[in-house]
Structure 1
């Protein structure tokens, strides 16, 4: 045991992995979170001291009561027995009830011989004994509950995968009162070395702590606050901070290291920017090539009079314009998912779309007030494509009605028209690439936009009576405000 303690005292705990700490802890009764192995002997010394205090208070209380009984004093001195009962029940709650019962019996054994068989004195002694046992039972129960809560807190605090700090007010500013292993490792320290250090000194921006503390003072809590801390070696660490007020003007901070995530996001953002630039250049080159091809086809139409050549050139022109339209529509698909999704009011989105579209002879009625869905910012393209699809391919469409209904597995938004509908054989094909508005991405783009936030779309209309597109929104993807 001594060899293990010597090793633990000389070992830098920040160099140990958590499994190594736990393995050593199993041998030498190590507390979770990297506490020194000598804590076991300290706890033994504390326990011995407490036992000595309880024994001394019991001895003093019984001596005083014995002296009082000999002198005829039976009212005040029995209260001295409350001290050892409370101390034992609080410090040793699992044995507190037995201790209080034993002490109550001891008091009876001491007091009953002095009652002289008088009923009143006997009842008084028995009542005090019952109260002694009851006090010990109540204190033991409360102490056990308190200890369970403390152990639960300690387990969460020490074994959390987030760095956790308790910040207390100090003479020269807020300082770290306690931290767990993860928090200390995050800053390159040991838990012992961090205690007493000023928390503001670990922020890269000197004003960041003041801003954070002001937000906590204003609302009592703080969530998802991104900032940068500095390790002991000067390395910057990006963290996500949550905080809350504790009694005694203390603050609990939880820090999650998001450095790797932020680096990955930055790398992905740079890669997307390069891909977007490449896509833009490729699309520009393709557009220029198609434009030149169309000019040459137009020149051929003017130069040759042969009807066969004209038919051939017109077929080439049609193919070239399909390529041109697809190149234009891919611009929308290129931007898909670049901006973060968010809550969008469906009614407002539809109003904005219908104000931009030219839909002669078609009325659009939407009954989706108060409905918001969590969707990509390109949600307007969904309704734009669906309305244009109805206008161009519905033939007899005179009205489009948009409604919603809540189901057990989410919500369904219906976009229904009174046109010719879609044949059964084409209901699934219309969402494939290359099928849709004038040979472009069309409904394929609609499906991809919705899929970003786990929404789906299908066509459920009756051929000859109109098309009906149903957008299924998952339970967490909608709200009624």
Structure 2
């Protein structure tokens, strides 16, 4: 079918020069006959035909051609004017119109061809598979496809023309849903679908599409099979590592519990002050290890599940529901804000509030607000406690910096960094702690 269209295009180009020459001959013969018969207002309009044809078919020569037509018309018309100013002016005006029409149409056609070549280059050389689908009588059929698209479907471009796109889908219902969204919204982006090539190979693609004015659909497919396979492999590996970590943590906690029990027995059995001090130091060290193991157990699933859009208010509400601090008031003013974050986002606010309660000494309330900035969203978590000294503002986020070897604020920063969020402490010492979380532009939305 593509070969037939190419042959038809070559035949029409070969016929252009004879057709143009015939239109020139007809226009000049008709005008000559009209001048002989004394008719000067009708036949000159026939000159538009060769001018328009030349400007459309040969736009780079359209202006010169229209100028030649205008000069030929003047050479033929002026001798019949007999020195009368009226016919001479009319002939000159018509000649100028001929040139203007040829110039305008030639420039428009050149602009259209340049844009067509530009978009043709984008279509043919895109790294994504590109398709143009025509509605047809039933399911949309492939009207045109680039090399990448043909290779993606394991075929040649010429062989795919006229084929229904639904032939290559594992689940035809997915295409019907996609097509309905395209026709309703005008465009759909990042729609993940499975394909099945004729050789039986399964391909996972990211599908996007847009509706053209004539009802056709332009479709792009990006092969993400390798990426999804790598993600699946990484997910399975993470699951195994998490299982191993969970078993190790259980063994570690069991061993620490046994150690603490034996230290307790030793405290009861011995009364030597030096030995008791030594046992007391061992007990504190064991408690630090125990607390770290418990915290890492709580965060062992960090990054295991994919990040997603989360209502900020819901995450804060989930965090405060786990608090057993009746004397602490937590107020949040973040309605309608959603952030793209790890599913453990609620632990961020839980740890920040706990940190305020544990280290703020005089803390009675925590307030959470937000502010939209030029480079993203700023979320503020502030309390009315004693604040944090300037020398400690960065160190509190380091591993094991908190009293007792805590990991809370270190893990807060790690959770946020998964989706490119950052956190810092900007409060004034003596007036309360103030944590500022920066969310990038693409990481938040107001609903």
What SS does structure 2 have at the residue aligned with 1:470?
strand
Relative to 1, partners in 2 of residues 1:392 and 1:476: Cα closer, same or farther, differing over 3 Å? Answer: same
1:326-341 paired onto structure 2 within 5 Å: 326-341=292-307
SS in 1 for 2:318: helix
Tell me which residue corresponds to 2:249.
283
User: Mean Cα displacement is larger for which, 215-224 or 362-371?
Assistant: 362-371
Aligned equivalent of 1:22:
none
Structure-2 residue corresponding to 1:241? 207
Distance change in 2, residues 1:474/1:130 (3 Å):
same
Instruction: Give the match's secondary structure for 2:31.
Output: helix
Q: CA deviation at 1:294?
A: 2.1
Shift, 1:248, TM fit: 3.3
- Superposed, 1:296-311 pairs within 5 Å as 296-311=262-277
- Per-residue deviation at 1:438? 4.0
Equivalent residue for 2:345, pick from 357, 379, 403: 379
Aligned position for 2:102: 136
1:94 aligns with 2:54: no
| Cα distance in 1, alignment partners of residues 81 and 431 from structure 2 | 103
Q: Does 2:164 match 1:193?
A: no
Is the 1:389–1:437 Cα contact (8 Å) retained in structure 2?
no
C-alpha distance in 2 between matches for 1:187 and 1:74: 63
Distance across 2 between alignment mates of 1:212 and 1:417: 49
Partner of residue 467, structure 1: 433
Residue 82 of structure 1 deviates from its aligned partner by 1.5
1:360 positional shift: 4.2
Shift of 1:356: 2.7
Q: What displacement does 1:149 show?
A: 2.3
| Structure 1 residue 327 displacement after superposition | 0.9
**1:163-185: CA deviations, max 9, x gaps?**
11111133564221111111111
Cα distance in structure 1, aligned partners of 2:186 and 2:118:
23
Query: Do the aligned partners of residues 250 and 461 (structure 1) sit closer, same or farther apart at CA in structure 2, a change above 3 Å counting?
Result: closer
Q: Is the 8 A contact 1:373 1:479 kept in 2?
A: yes
2:234 corresponds to which of 268, 284, 288: 268
Deviations 1:350-398 (A, max 9, x none): 3432343122433334344444433322222122112212212222223
Map residues 174-193 of structure 1 onto 2, 5 A cutoff.
174-193=140-159
Report if the CA contact (8 A) 1:241-1:256 is conserved.
Answer: yes
Asked whether the equivalents of residues 69 and 111 of structure 1 are also in contact (C-alpha less than 8 Å), the reply is: yes
Q: Which runs of 5+ in 2 are unaligned?
A: none
Aligned to 1:31: none
In the alignment, the residues of structure 2 paired with residue 386 and residue 172 of structure 1 have an alpha-carbon distance, to the nearest angstrom, of: 58
Match of 1:399 in 2: 365
Contact 1:435–1:442 (CA under 8 A) maintained in structure 2: no
> Do 1:283 and 1:327's aligned partners in 2 also have CA atoms closer than 8 Å?
yes
* Pair 1:414 & 2:414 matched: no
After superposition, residues 111-150 of structure 1 pair within 5 angstroms as: 111-150=77-116
Shift of 1:297: 2.3
TM-score (normalised: structure 1): 0.84
Residues 460 and 62 of structure 1: is their aligned pair in 2 closer, same or farther, counting only changes over 3 Å?
A: closer
Q: Distance in 1 between matches of 2:427 and 2:135?
A: 67
Shift of 1:48: 4.1
**Secondary structure of 1:361's match?**
coil
CA separation in 2, counterparts of 1:464 and 1:222?
Answer: 53
1:109 match: 75
Pick aligned residue for 1:315 from 281, 291, 304: 281
Structure 1 residue matching 2:214: 3-state secondary structure: helix
Please give the per-residue CA displacement for 1:139-179, whole angstroms capped at 9, x wherever unaligned.
21221222122112212111111111111133564221111
Establish whether residue 49 from structure 1 lines up as the match of residue 15 from structure 2: yes
Q: Structure 1 residues 182-191 or 70-79, which shifts more?
A: 70-79
Determine whether 1:209 maps to 2:175. yes
> For residues 120 and 464 of structure 1, what CA distance do their matches in structure 2 show?
96
Unaligned stretches of 5+ in structure 1?
1-35
The 10-residue stretch of structure 1 (434-443 or 86-95) with the greater mean CA deviation from structure 2: 434-443
Aligned match of 1:159: 125
Output the CA distance in 2 between the equivalents of 1:258 and 1:139: 45
* Cα 1:368/1:303, change in 2 over 3 Å: same
1:254 partner SS: strand
Distance 2:444 2:436 in 1: 15
- Give the Cα–Cα distance (whole angstroms) in 2 for the partners of residues 387 and 357 of structure 1: 9
CA-based RMSD: 2.7
Deviation track 1:116-142 (CA, whole Å, cap 9, x = no partner) reads 223333233223222222222222122
Superposition deviation, residue 473 in structure 1:
3.2
Are 1:256 and 2:222 an aligned pair? yes
SS at match of 1:340: coil
2:190 matches 1:220: no
Aligned pair count reads 445
Between 1:288-297 and 1:452-461, the stretch displaced more is 452-461
Asked if the contact 1:107–1:129 (Cα under 8 Å) also holds between the matched residues in 2, the reply is yes
Structure 1 residues 251 and 409: CA distance shift in structure 2, 3 A: closer
SS in 1 for 2:99: helix
